[in-house]
Structure 1
Protein backbone atom coordinates (compact mmCIF):
# COMPACT_ATOMS: atom_id res chain seq x y z
CA UNK A 1 0.00 0.00 0.00
CA UNK A 2 1.71 3.26 -1.06
CA UNK A 3 1.76 6.11 1.45
CA UNK A 4 -0.61 9.06 1.12
CA UNK A 5 0.57 12.64 1.56
CA UNK A 6 -0.64 14.27 4.75
CA UNK A 7 -3.33 16.74 3.86
CA UNK A 8 -1.93 19.28 6.31
CA UNK A 9 1.57 19.06 4.83
CA UNK A 10 0.95 18.86 1.11
CA UNK A 11 0.71 22.59 0.41
CA UNK A 12 3.23 24.62 -1.51
CA UNK A 13 4.94 25.88 1.66
CA UNK A 14 5.64 22.50 3.20
CA UNK A 15 7.77 19.49 2.36
CA UNK A 16 5.50 16.43 2.10
CA UNK A 17 5.39 14.51 5.37
CA UNK A 18 3.99 11.15 4.35
CA UNK A 19 1.24 9.44 6.27
CA UNK A 20 2.86 6.01 6.37
CA UNK A 21 0.54 3.37 7.82
CA UNK A 22 -1.38 5.80 10.01
CA UNK A 23 1.59 7.84 11.21
CA UNK A 24 -0.69 10.66 12.36
CA UNK A 25 -2.13 8.29 14.95
CA UNK A 26 -0.60 5.47 16.96
CA UNK A 27 1.43 3.26 14.64
CA UNK A 28 -0.59 0.07 14.05
CA UNK A 29 2.31 -2.30 14.70
CA UNK A 30 5.68 -2.43 16.41
CA UNK A 31 7.33 -1.86 13.03
CA UNK A 32 6.78 -2.46 9.33
CA UNK A 33 8.97 -4.24 6.81
CA UNK A 34 8.47 -4.81 3.09
CA UNK A 35 10.41 -5.52 -0.07
CA UNK A 36 11.56 -2.72 -2.35
CA UNK A 37 9.48 -4.30 -5.11
CA UNK A 38 6.34 -4.04 -2.97
CA UNK A 39 7.00 -0.39 -2.21
CA UNK A 40 8.34 0.95 -5.51
CA UNK A 41 6.99 -1.17 -8.36
CA UNK A 42 3.52 0.32 -8.09
CA UNK A 43 5.01 3.82 -8.12
CA UNK A 44 6.91 3.30 -11.39
CA UNK A 45 10.04 2.67 -9.29
CA UNK A 46 10.15 6.29 -8.15
CA UNK A 47 9.46 7.63 -4.65
CA UNK A 48 9.12 11.41 -4.55
CA UNK A 49 11.09 13.40 -1.96
CA UNK A 50 9.34 13.38 1.42
CA UNK A 51 10.06 13.03 5.11
CA UNK A 52 8.61 11.26 8.15
CA UNK A 53 8.40 13.20 11.42
CA UNK A 54 8.14 10.19 13.74
CA UNK A 55 9.73 7.25 11.92
CA UNK A 56 13.27 5.95 11.43
CA UNK A 57 13.83 3.94 8.24
CA UNK A 58 16.53 1.48 7.23
CA UNK A 59 16.79 0.73 3.49
CA UNK A 60 18.78 -2.41 2.67
CA UNK A 61 19.41 -2.40 -1.10
CA UNK A 62 20.78 -5.74 -2.27
CA UNK A 63 21.05 -5.47 -6.04
CA UNK A 64 19.86 -3.47 -9.02
CA UNK A 65 20.45 0.28 -9.03
CA UNK A 66 19.18 3.21 -6.98
CA UNK A 67 19.56 6.96 -7.24
CA UNK A 68 19.11 8.42 -3.77
CA UNK A 69 18.55 12.05 -2.76
CA UNK A 70 19.04 13.10 0.87
CA UNK A 71 18.24 16.72 1.70
CA UNK A 72 19.05 17.61 -1.90
CA UNK A 73 22.34 15.67 -1.98
CA UNK A 74 22.69 12.66 -4.28
CA UNK A 75 25.40 10.32 -2.93
CA UNK A 76 26.96 7.86 -5.34
CA UNK A 77 25.86 4.47 -4.00
CA UNK A 78 26.10 1.01 -5.56
CA UNK A 79 24.31 -2.04 -4.10
CA UNK A 80 24.65 -3.71 -1.76
CA UNK A 81 24.34 -0.95 0.84
CA UNK A 82 22.26 0.05 3.84
CA UNK A 83 20.85 3.54 4.21
CA UNK A 84 19.80 4.78 7.66
CA UNK A 85 17.36 7.73 7.51
CA UNK A 86 16.35 9.44 10.76
CA UNK A 87 13.12 11.44 11.14
CA UNK A 88 12.89 14.75 9.35
CA UNK A 89 15.42 14.00 6.61
CA UNK A 90 14.02 14.60 3.13
CA UNK A 91 14.64 11.49 1.04
CA UNK A 92 13.60 10.25 -2.37
CA UNK A 93 14.50 7.37 -4.68
CA UNK A 94 14.64 6.39 -8.30
CA UNK A 95 15.15 2.64 -8.66
CA UNK A 96 16.00 0.56 -11.67
CA UNK A 97 13.14 -1.83 -12.39
CA UNK A 98 13.58 -5.04 -10.45
CA UNK A 99 15.85 -3.60 -7.76
CA UNK A 100 15.78 -5.92 -4.75
CA UNK A 101 15.99 -5.05 -1.08
CA UNK A 102 14.03 -4.26 2.07
CA UNK A 103 12.56 -1.23 3.82
CA UNK A 104 12.40 -1.43 7.62
CA UNK A 105 10.29 1.30 9.23
CA UNK A 106 10.52 1.75 13.00
CA UNK A 107 8.39 4.21 14.99
CA UNK A 108 10.50 6.15 17.47
CA UNK A 109 8.34 4.95 20.35
CA UNK A 110 9.26 1.33 19.57
CA UNK A 111 12.97 1.95 20.32
CA UNK A 112 13.11 5.21 22.28
CA UNK A 113 16.42 4.33 23.94
CA UNK A 114 18.06 4.25 20.48
CA UNK A 115 15.95 6.34 18.10
CA UNK A 116 14.28 9.05 20.17
CA UNK A 117 15.73 12.49 19.42
CA UNK A 118 17.35 12.81 22.83
CA UNK A 119 19.07 9.44 22.49
CA UNK A 120 19.98 9.57 18.80
CA UNK A 121 21.40 13.08 18.62
CA UNK A 122 25.16 13.02 18.69
CA UNK A 123 25.27 9.42 17.42
CA UNK A 124 25.22 7.88 13.96
CA UNK A 125 21.49 7.16 14.37
CA UNK A 126 20.79 10.87 14.58
CA UNK A 127 22.12 11.57 11.09
CA UNK A 128 21.97 9.93 7.68
CA UNK A 129 24.31 6.96 7.41
CA UNK A 130 25.37 4.69 4.55
CA UNK A 131 26.96 1.27 5.06
CA UNK A 132 28.57 -0.55 2.16
CA UNK A 133 29.53 -3.60 4.23
CA UNK A 134 26.16 -5.14 5.13
CA UNK A 135 27.57 -8.24 6.86
CA UNK A 136 24.93 -9.92 9.03
CA UNK A 137 22.21 -7.45 8.14
CA UNK A 138 20.67 -9.37 5.22
CA UNK A 139 19.82 -12.53 7.23
CA UNK A 140 18.64 -10.30 10.07
CA UNK A 141 16.21 -8.51 7.75
CA UNK A 142 14.93 -11.91 6.57
CA UNK A 143 14.28 -12.89 10.19
CA UNK A 144 12.33 -9.67 10.72
CA UNK A 145 10.24 -10.46 7.62
CA UNK A 146 9.43 -13.93 8.92
CA UNK A 147 8.57 -12.69 12.42
CA UNK A 148 6.51 -9.79 11.08
CA UNK A 149 4.44 -12.10 8.87
CA UNK A 150 3.86 -14.60 11.67
CA UNK A 151 1.78 -14.71 14.83
CA UNK A 152 4.07 -16.50 17.28
CA UNK A 153 3.87 -15.70 21.01
CA UNK A 154 5.77 -12.57 22.06
CA UNK A 155 5.84 -11.41 18.43
CA UNK A 156 6.06 -7.73 19.39
CA UNK A 157 8.89 -8.29 21.84
CA UNK A 158 10.83 -10.28 19.28
CA UNK A 159 10.31 -7.65 16.59
CA UNK A 160 11.59 -4.93 18.90
CA UNK A 161 14.60 -7.07 19.77
CA UNK A 162 15.44 -7.70 16.12
CA UNK A 163 14.96 -4.04 15.20
CA UNK A 164 17.18 -3.08 18.13
CA UNK A 165 19.85 -5.42 16.80
CA UNK A 166 19.66 -3.74 13.39
CA UNK A 167 19.94 -0.29 14.99
CA UNK A 168 22.84 -1.36 17.22
CA UNK A 169 24.76 -2.92 14.33
CA UNK A 170 24.29 0.22 12.24
CA UNK A 171 25.29 2.44 15.16
CA UNK A 172 28.44 0.41 15.87
CA UNK A 173 29.44 0.23 12.21
CA UNK A 174 29.06 3.96 11.68
CA UNK A 175 30.16 5.17 15.11
CA UNK A 176 32.53 2.38 16.06
CA UNK A 177 35.68 4.34 16.93
CA UNK A 178 33.74 6.85 18.99
CA UNK A 179 31.67 4.16 20.70
CA UNK A 180 34.81 2.30 21.78
CA UNK A 181 36.65 5.36 23.03
CA UNK A 182 34.73 5.59 26.28
CA UNK A 183 33.84 9.23 25.54
CA UNK A 184 30.50 10.23 27.03
CA UNK A 185 28.35 13.23 26.10
CA UNK A 186 26.72 15.48 28.66
CA UNK A 187 23.00 14.58 28.79
CA UNK A 188 22.23 18.30 28.66
CA UNK A 189 23.63 18.33 25.13
CA UNK A 190 21.06 15.71 24.11
CA UNK A 191 18.33 17.82 25.71
CA UNK A 192 19.55 20.80 23.73
CA UNK A 193 19.51 18.82 20.49
CA UNK A 194 15.99 17.54 21.15
CA UNK A 195 14.76 21.07 21.93
CA UNK A 196 16.52 22.39 18.83
CA UNK A 197 14.53 20.01 16.65
CA UNK A 198 11.28 20.68 18.49
CA UNK A 199 11.49 24.48 18.46
CA UNK A 200 13.30 25.07 15.18
CA UNK A 201 10.42 27.11 13.77
CA UNK A 202 9.53 28.84 17.03
CA UNK A 203 12.26 31.44 16.83
CA UNK A 204 14.23 30.03 19.77
CA UNK A 205 17.69 31.47 20.12
CA UNK A 206 20.58 30.68 22.43
CA UNK A 207 19.04 32.37 25.47
CA UNK A 208 15.80 30.40 25.07
CA UNK A 209 17.62 27.06 24.93
CA UNK A 210 19.82 27.88 27.90
CA UNK A 211 16.79 28.98 29.93
CA UNK A 212 14.89 25.77 29.08
CA UNK A 213 17.82 23.62 30.24
CA UNK A 214 18.41 25.77 33.32
CA UNK A 215 22.00 26.83 32.63
CA UNK A 216 23.75 29.94 31.37
CA UNK A 217 24.36 30.62 27.70
CA UNK A 218 28.10 30.36 28.29
CA UNK A 219 27.73 26.99 30.01
CA UNK A 220 25.54 25.65 27.19
CA UNK A 221 28.15 26.71 24.65
CA UNK A 222 30.88 24.93 26.62
CA UNK A 223 28.80 21.74 26.63
CA UNK A 224 28.24 22.01 22.87
CA UNK A 225 31.93 22.64 22.21
CA UNK A 226 32.84 19.57 24.23
CA UNK A 227 30.40 17.43 22.23
CA UNK A 228 30.92 18.81 18.72
CA UNK A 229 33.75 21.33 18.74
CA UNK A 230 31.28 24.13 17.93
CA UNK A 231 29.45 26.62 20.17
CA UNK A 232 25.69 26.41 20.66
CA UNK A 233 24.97 29.50 18.54
CA UNK A 234 26.72 27.92 15.56
CA UNK A 235 24.72 24.70 15.95
CA UNK A 236 21.46 26.66 16.12
CA UNK A 237 22.33 28.62 13.00
CA UNK A 238 23.40 25.46 11.14
CA UNK A 239 20.11 23.74 11.99
CA UNK A 240 18.15 26.74 10.76
CA UNK A 241 20.06 26.85 7.50
CA UNK A 242 19.64 23.10 6.93
CA UNK A 243 15.89 23.54 7.27
CA UNK A 244 16.01 26.60 5.04
CA UNK A 245 17.78 24.54 2.36
CA UNK A 246 15.07 21.88 2.58
CA UNK A 247 12.28 24.45 2.27
CA UNK A 248 13.97 26.23 -0.64
CA UNK A 249 14.48 23.01 -2.60
CA UNK A 250 11.33 21.07 -1.77
CA UNK A 251 8.65 23.77 -1.50
CA UNK A 252 7.44 26.69 -3.60
CA UNK A 253 7.33 29.10 -0.65
CA UNK A 254 8.80 32.53 -1.31
CA UNK A 255 12.21 33.29 0.12
CA UNK A 256 10.63 35.78 2.52
CA UNK A 257 8.15 33.14 3.69
CA UNK A 258 10.95 30.66 4.34
CA UNK A 259 12.67 33.25 6.50
CA UNK A 260 9.48 34.06 8.39
CA UNK A 261 8.78 30.34 8.95
CA UNK A 262 12.19 30.00 10.60
CA UNK A 263 11.76 32.98 12.91
CA UNK A 264 13.52 35.69 10.88
CA UNK A 265 11.45 38.87 11.10
CA UNK A 266 13.42 40.63 8.36
CA UNK A 267 13.78 38.87 4.96
CA UNK A 268 16.97 40.76 4.20
CA UNK A 269 18.52 39.58 7.46
CA UNK A 270 17.56 36.00 6.58
CA UNK A 271 19.17 36.36 3.15
CA UNK A 272 22.38 37.75 4.67
CA UNK A 273 22.52 34.96 7.25
CA UNK A 274 21.91 32.32 4.57
CA UNK A 275 24.66 33.76 2.36
CA UNK A 276 27.09 33.87 5.26
CA UNK A 277 26.56 30.20 6.09
CA UNK A 278 25.96 28.71 2.63
CA UNK A 279 28.16 31.00 0.51
CA UNK A 280 25.37 32.09 -1.86
CA UNK A 281 21.98 33.75 -1.68
CA UNK A 282 18.75 31.78 -1.07
CA UNK A 283 17.63 32.56 -4.61
CA UNK A 284 20.86 31.30 -6.12
CA UNK A 285 20.72 28.15 -3.98
CA UNK A 286 17.17 27.39 -5.16
CA UNK A 287 18.01 28.20 -8.78
CA UNK A 288 20.89 25.72 -8.72
CA UNK A 289 18.50 22.87 -7.96
CA UNK A 290 15.92 24.09 -10.48
CA UNK A 291 18.58 23.96 -13.21
CA UNK A 292 19.34 20.35 -12.22
Structure 2
Protein backbone atom coordinates (compact mmCIF):
# COMPACT_ATOMS: atom_id res chain seq x y z
CA UNK A 1 0.00 0.00 0.00
CA UNK A 2 1.35 3.39 -0.96
CA UNK A 3 2.20 5.40 2.15
CA UNK A 4 3.92 8.39 0.60
CA UNK A 5 3.82 10.32 -2.66
CA UNK A 6 6.64 8.95 -4.82
CA UNK A 7 9.48 11.46 -4.96
CA UNK A 8 11.47 10.46 -8.00
CA UNK A 9 14.81 11.66 -9.26
CA UNK A 10 13.71 10.75 -12.77
CA UNK A 11 10.73 8.49 -13.47
CA UNK A 12 11.40 6.35 -10.44
CA UNK A 13 15.18 6.48 -10.31
CA UNK A 14 16.54 7.13 -6.84
CA UNK A 15 20.26 7.48 -7.62
CA UNK A 16 22.08 10.80 -7.71
CA UNK A 17 21.37 12.55 -11.00
CA UNK A 18 24.06 11.25 -13.36
CA UNK A 19 24.34 14.06 -15.93
CA UNK A 20 24.02 17.82 -16.38
CA UNK A 21 20.45 17.20 -17.59
CA UNK A 22 18.30 14.54 -19.21
CA UNK A 23 16.15 14.67 -22.32
CA UNK A 24 14.18 11.81 -23.83
CA UNK A 25 11.36 11.28 -26.26
CA UNK A 26 7.95 10.74 -24.71
CA UNK A 27 7.47 7.57 -26.74
CA UNK A 28 10.76 6.08 -25.48
CA UNK A 29 9.59 6.25 -21.88
CA UNK A 30 5.79 6.19 -21.96
CA UNK A 31 5.34 3.35 -24.44
CA UNK A 32 6.94 0.93 -22.00
CA UNK A 33 4.57 2.09 -19.26
CA UNK A 34 1.41 1.60 -21.34
CA UNK A 35 1.44 5.38 -21.99
CA UNK A 36 0.58 6.22 -18.38
CA UNK A 37 2.96 7.93 -15.91
CA UNK A 38 1.67 7.51 -12.36
CA UNK A 39 1.45 10.59 -10.10
CA UNK A 40 4.78 11.52 -8.55
CA UNK A 41 6.90 14.55 -7.82
CA UNK A 42 10.51 15.68 -8.03
CA UNK A 43 12.10 17.44 -5.09
CA UNK A 44 15.25 18.67 -6.83
CA UNK A 45 14.33 18.69 -10.51
CA UNK A 46 12.47 20.97 -12.92
CA UNK A 47 10.83 19.51 -16.02
CA UNK A 48 9.73 21.04 -19.31
CA UNK A 49 7.60 18.90 -21.62
CA UNK A 50 6.96 19.47 -25.29
CA UNK A 51 3.89 17.61 -26.55
CA UNK A 52 4.47 17.91 -30.29
CA UNK A 53 1.62 15.70 -31.52
CA UNK A 54 -0.96 13.32 -30.13
CA UNK A 55 -3.05 13.73 -27.01
CA UNK A 56 -2.07 14.08 -23.38
CA UNK A 57 -4.01 14.53 -20.17
CA UNK A 58 -2.05 15.96 -17.27
CA UNK A 59 -2.96 15.84 -13.60
CA UNK A 60 -1.13 18.47 -11.55
CA UNK A 61 -1.80 18.71 -7.82
CA UNK A 62 -5.22 17.12 -8.28
CA UNK A 63 -6.34 19.28 -11.22
CA UNK A 64 -6.87 17.73 -14.66
CA UNK A 65 -5.56 19.51 -17.75
CA UNK A 66 -5.82 18.58 -21.44
CA UNK A 67 -2.80 19.59 -23.52
CA UNK A 68 -3.57 21.50 -26.72
CA UNK A 69 -0.76 20.44 -29.05
CA UNK A 70 1.85 21.58 -29.75
CA UNK A 71 1.93 22.13 -26.01
CA UNK A 72 4.49 23.17 -23.44
CA UNK A 73 4.28 22.19 -19.78
CA UNK A 74 6.53 23.65 -17.09
CA UNK A 75 6.65 21.51 -13.93
CA UNK A 76 8.50 23.01 -10.95
CA UNK A 77 9.89 20.98 -8.09
CA UNK A 78 7.32 19.64 -5.65
CA UNK A 79 4.29 19.63 -7.97
CA UNK A 80 2.58 16.21 -7.92
CA UNK A 81 1.97 15.27 -11.53
CA UNK A 82 1.02 12.32 -13.72
CA UNK A 83 0.20 11.77 -17.38
CA UNK A 84 -2.03 9.71 -19.63
CA UNK A 85 -0.76 9.89 -23.20
CA UNK A 86 -2.53 8.67 -26.32
CA UNK A 87 -0.60 5.86 -28.00
CA UNK A 88 1.98 7.31 -30.38
CA UNK A 89 2.18 10.75 -28.75
CA UNK A 90 5.39 12.51 -29.79
CA UNK A 91 7.44 15.05 -27.92
CA UNK A 92 10.16 15.41 -25.32
CA UNK A 93 10.67 15.51 -21.57
CA UNK A 94 13.53 17.77 -20.49
CA UNK A 95 14.66 17.28 -16.88
CA UNK A 96 16.96 19.81 -15.21
CA UNK A 97 18.65 19.36 -11.81
CA UNK A 98 18.14 22.65 -10.00
CA UNK A 99 21.71 22.81 -8.69
CA UNK A 100 23.14 22.61 -12.22
CA UNK A 101 21.27 25.75 -13.35
CA UNK A 102 21.53 28.44 -10.65
CA UNK A 103 21.11 31.15 -13.31
CA UNK A 104 17.58 29.81 -13.89
CA UNK A 105 16.47 28.46 -10.54
CA UNK A 106 18.66 30.15 -7.92
CA UNK A 107 16.85 32.29 -5.40
CA UNK A 108 18.16 35.52 -6.95
CA UNK A 109 17.75 34.40 -10.58
CA UNK A 110 15.63 36.77 -12.71
CA UNK A 111 13.51 33.84 -13.93
CA UNK A 112 13.16 32.11 -10.56
CA UNK A 113 9.64 33.34 -9.86
CA UNK A 114 8.27 32.49 -13.32
CA UNK A 115 10.06 29.14 -13.44
CA UNK A 116 8.74 28.27 -9.97
CA UNK A 117 5.10 28.09 -11.07
CA UNK A 118 3.23 25.36 -12.94
CA UNK A 119 2.39 26.51 -16.46
CA UNK A 120 0.64 24.98 -19.47
CA UNK A 121 0.42 26.64 -22.88
CA UNK A 122 1.25 26.41 -26.57
CA UNK A 123 4.69 25.91 -28.09
CA UNK A 124 5.95 27.90 -31.05
CA UNK A 125 7.95 26.30 -33.87
CA UNK A 126 11.24 27.88 -32.73
CA UNK A 127 10.94 26.35 -29.27
CA UNK A 128 10.09 22.92 -30.70
CA UNK A 129 13.15 23.09 -32.96
CA UNK A 130 15.37 23.73 -29.95
CA UNK A 131 14.17 20.47 -28.37
CA UNK A 132 15.18 18.59 -31.52
CA UNK A 133 18.61 20.19 -31.47
CA UNK A 134 19.16 19.56 -27.76
CA UNK A 135 18.14 15.91 -28.09
CA UNK A 136 20.64 15.40 -30.91
CA UNK A 137 23.48 17.10 -29.02
CA UNK A 138 22.64 15.27 -25.79
CA UNK A 139 23.15 11.92 -27.50
CA UNK A 140 26.44 13.01 -29.06
CA UNK A 141 29.83 12.83 -27.36
CA UNK A 142 31.63 15.70 -29.04
CA UNK A 143 33.92 18.30 -27.48
CA UNK A 144 32.28 20.76 -25.07
CA UNK A 145 29.17 18.59 -24.99
CA UNK A 146 28.09 19.64 -21.48
CA UNK A 147 28.58 23.33 -22.18
CA UNK A 148 26.57 23.09 -25.39
CA UNK A 149 23.64 21.10 -23.98
CA UNK A 150 23.55 23.38 -20.93
CA UNK A 151 23.37 26.45 -23.16
CA UNK A 152 20.61 24.90 -25.25
CA UNK A 153 18.65 24.05 -22.10
CA UNK A 154 18.83 27.67 -20.96
CA UNK A 155 17.54 28.75 -24.37
CA UNK A 156 14.67 26.29 -24.13
CA UNK A 157 13.64 27.52 -20.68
CA UNK A 158 13.73 31.14 -21.84
CA UNK A 159 11.78 30.40 -25.03
CA UNK A 160 9.32 28.18 -23.16
CA UNK A 161 8.58 30.77 -20.49
CA UNK A 162 8.06 33.35 -23.22
CA UNK A 163 5.69 31.01 -25.09
CA UNK A 164 3.81 30.22 -21.89
CA UNK A 165 3.50 33.89 -20.98
CA UNK A 166 1.98 34.52 -24.42
CA UNK A 167 -0.44 31.57 -24.51
CA UNK A 168 -1.15 30.65 -20.89
CA UNK A 169 -2.46 32.50 -17.87
CA UNK A 170 0.39 34.75 -16.79
CA UNK A 171 1.39 34.21 -13.16
CA UNK A 172 1.76 37.20 -10.92
CA UNK A 173 5.24 38.61 -10.55
CA UNK A 174 6.93 37.30 -7.43
CA UNK A 175 9.79 38.60 -5.37
CA UNK A 176 12.70 36.14 -5.58
CA UNK A 177 12.81 36.05 -1.78
CA UNK A 178 9.24 34.74 -1.76
CA UNK A 179 10.20 31.98 -4.18
CA UNK A 180 12.95 31.06 -1.73
CA UNK A 181 10.44 31.23 1.14
CA UNK A 182 8.22 28.73 -0.67
CA UNK A 183 11.19 26.39 -1.10
CA UNK A 184 12.10 26.67 2.57
CA UNK A 185 8.53 25.89 3.63
CA UNK A 186 8.60 22.71 1.56
CA UNK A 187 11.86 21.70 3.21
CA UNK A 188 11.12 22.61 6.83
CA UNK A 189 7.42 22.74 7.66
CA UNK A 190 7.55 19.25 9.23
CA UNK A 191 10.14 20.62 11.67
CA UNK A 192 7.61 23.21 12.82
CA UNK A 193 9.71 26.17 11.78
CA UNK A 194 8.16 29.45 12.85
CA UNK A 195 8.08 32.72 10.94
CA UNK A 196 11.22 33.86 12.76
CA UNK A 197 13.10 30.76 11.58
CA UNK A 198 12.21 31.38 7.94
CA UNK A 199 12.96 35.08 8.22
CA UNK A 200 16.39 34.32 9.68
CA UNK A 201 17.16 31.93 6.82
CA UNK A 202 16.19 34.65 4.35
CA UNK A 203 18.13 37.40 6.08
CA UNK A 204 14.94 39.32 6.86
CA UNK A 205 13.07 40.38 9.95
CA UNK A 206 9.81 38.51 10.61
CA UNK A 207 7.91 41.75 10.12
CA UNK A 208 9.56 42.42 6.76
CA UNK A 209 8.83 38.86 5.60
CA UNK A 210 5.17 39.22 6.50
CA UNK A 211 4.97 42.55 4.65
CA UNK A 212 6.42 40.92 1.52
CA UNK A 213 3.93 38.04 1.78
CA UNK A 214 0.95 40.30 2.29
CA UNK A 215 1.91 42.50 -0.64
CA UNK A 216 2.24 39.49 -2.96
CA UNK A 217 -0.51 37.14 -1.74
CA UNK A 218 -2.66 38.97 0.81
CA UNK A 219 -1.53 36.46 3.44
CA UNK A 220 0.77 36.97 6.38
CA UNK A 221 3.89 34.81 6.51
CA UNK A 222 2.25 32.63 9.16
CA UNK A 223 -0.82 32.11 7.00
CA UNK A 224 1.38 31.30 4.00
CA UNK A 225 3.12 28.59 6.04
CA UNK A 226 -0.27 27.26 7.08
CA UNK A 227 -1.49 27.27 3.47
CA UNK A 228 1.58 25.32 2.33
CA UNK A 229 1.10 22.80 5.13
CA UNK A 230 -2.50 22.09 4.19
CA UNK A 231 -1.63 22.01 0.49
CA UNK A 232 0.75 19.16 1.37
CA UNK A 233 -2.02 17.54 3.42
CA UNK A 234 -4.32 17.60 0.38
CA UNK A 235 -1.60 16.03 -1.75
CA UNK A 236 -1.05 13.24 0.76
CA UNK A 237 -4.76 12.53 1.09
CA UNK A 238 -5.26 12.33 -2.68
CA UNK A 239 -2.07 10.63 -3.80
CA UNK A 240 -1.36 8.18 -0.95
CA UNK A 241 -3.28 5.74 1.20
CA UNK A 242 -1.79 7.03 4.44
CA UNK A 243 -4.40 6.95 7.22
CA UNK A 244 -5.71 10.39 8.12
CA UNK A 245 -4.00 10.28 11.51
CA UNK A 246 -0.69 9.37 9.84
CA UNK A 247 -1.02 12.35 7.49
CA UNK A 248 -1.43 14.60 10.52
CA UNK A 249 1.58 13.10 12.30
CA UNK A 250 3.65 13.42 9.11
CA UNK A 251 2.87 17.13 9.00
CA UNK A 252 3.77 17.71 12.62
CA UNK A 253 0.31 17.52 14.26
CA UNK A 254 0.50 15.61 17.54
CA UNK A 255 -3.28 15.25 17.93
CA UNK A 256 -5.20 13.57 15.04
CA UNK A 257 -8.45 15.18 16.14
CA UNK A 258 -6.91 18.63 16.07
CA UNK A 259 -5.49 17.93 12.61
CA UNK A 260 -8.91 16.87 11.33
CA UNK A 261 -10.60 19.97 12.73
CA UNK A 262 -7.88 22.24 11.37
CA UNK A 263 -8.05 20.60 7.94
CA UNK A 264 -11.84 21.02 7.83
CA UNK A 265 -11.53 24.71 8.69
CA UNK A 266 -9.02 25.11 5.88
CA UNK A 267 -10.56 22.92 3.16
CA UNK A 268 -14.24 22.98 4.09
CA UNK A 269 -14.34 19.18 4.36
CA UNK A 270 -13.11 16.63 6.85
CA UNK A 271 -9.98 14.80 5.61
CA UNK A 272 -11.85 11.56 4.87
CA UNK A 273 -14.56 13.40 2.94
CA UNK A 274 -11.95 15.34 0.99
CA UNK A 275 -10.19 12.09 0.02
CA UNK A 276 -13.49 10.49 -0.99
CA UNK A 277 -14.04 13.21 -3.63
CA UNK A 278 -11.07 11.84 -5.58
CA UNK A 279 -11.83 8.15 -5.26
CA UNK A 280 -13.61 6.52 -8.13
**TM-score, normalised by the number of residues in structure 2:** 0.88
List aligned pairs for 1:272-283, cutoff 5 A: 272-283=261-272
Q: Distance in 2 between matches of 1:195 and 1:118?
A: 14
Please report how far the alpha carbon of residue 254 of structure 1 lies from its aligned counterpart in structure 2 after TM superposition: 0.9
- Separation in 2, partners of 1:154, 1:52: 28
Quote the Cα distance in structure 1 between the aligned partners of 2:205 and 2:53: 52
Q: Name the CA distance, whole Å, in 1 between partners of 2:8 and 2:88.
A: 24
Residue number among 253, 258, 265 corresponding to 2:247 in the alignment: 258
Aligned to 2:99, which of 109, 127, 146? 109
Say if 1:12 and 1:116 are closer, same or farther in 2 by CA, change over 3 A: farther
Which residue matches 2:193? Answer: 204
Alignment match, 1:55: 45
- 1:82 aligns to 2:83 (yes or no): no
Q: 1:239 to 1:134 in 2, by over 3 A?
A: farther
Q: 2:21 aligns with which of 18, 24, 31?
A: 31
Q: Which residue number corresponds to residue 141 of structure 1?
A: 131
Is the Cα–Cα contact under 8 Å of residues 83 and 130 in structure 1 kept in the other structure?
yes
8 Å contact kept, 2:263–2:269: yes
Q: 1:50 touches 1:91 (CA, 8 Å); kept in 2? A: yes
Asked whether the 8 Å contact 2:130–2:152 carries over to 1, the reply is yes
Residue 168 of structure 1, CA deviation: 1.6
Aligned-pair CA distance for 1:173: 3.9
Q: CA deviation at 1:81?
A: 0.6
Structure 1 partner of 2:140:
150
Partner of 1:248: 237
Does residue 42 (structure 1) correspond to residue 71 (structure 2)? The answer is: no
The offset of 1:19, in angstroms, is 4.2
Q: 1:41 to 1:120 in 2, by over 3 A?
A: farther
Question: Which residue of 2 is the match for residue 270 of structure 1?
Answer: 259
Please tell me whether residue 15 in structure 1 is matched to residue 1 in structure 2: no
String of CA shifts for 1:198-219, please: whole Å, max 9, x gaps. Answer: 1022222323323444544322
Residues 95 and 21 (structure 1), Cα distance of their counterparts in 2 relative to 1, 3 Å cut: closer
Structure 1 residues 28 and 133, CA gap change in structure 2 (3 angstroms): closer
Deviation at 1:189, TM superposition (A): 3.2
Once the two structures are TM-superposed, the CA of residue 265 in structure 1 deviates from its matched residue by: 1.8
Distance 1:122 1:143, change over 3 A: closer
Tell me how far 1:284 sits from its aligned partner. Answer: 1.0
Stretches of structure 2 that go unaligned for 5 or more consecutive residues are 167-172
User: Secondary structure of 2:93's partner?
Assistant: strand
1:221 Cα shift? 0.4
RMSD between superposed Cα atoms in Å = 2.4
Asked if the contact 1:46–1:94 (Cα under 8 Å) also holds between the matched residues in 2, the reply is yes
Distance 1:246 1:121 in 2: 26
1:129 aligns to 2:119 (yes or no): yes
Size of the alignment, in residue pairs? 274
What is the CA distance between 1:227 and its match in structure 2?
Answer: 3.3
Alpha-carbon offset, residue 64 of structure 1: 1.1
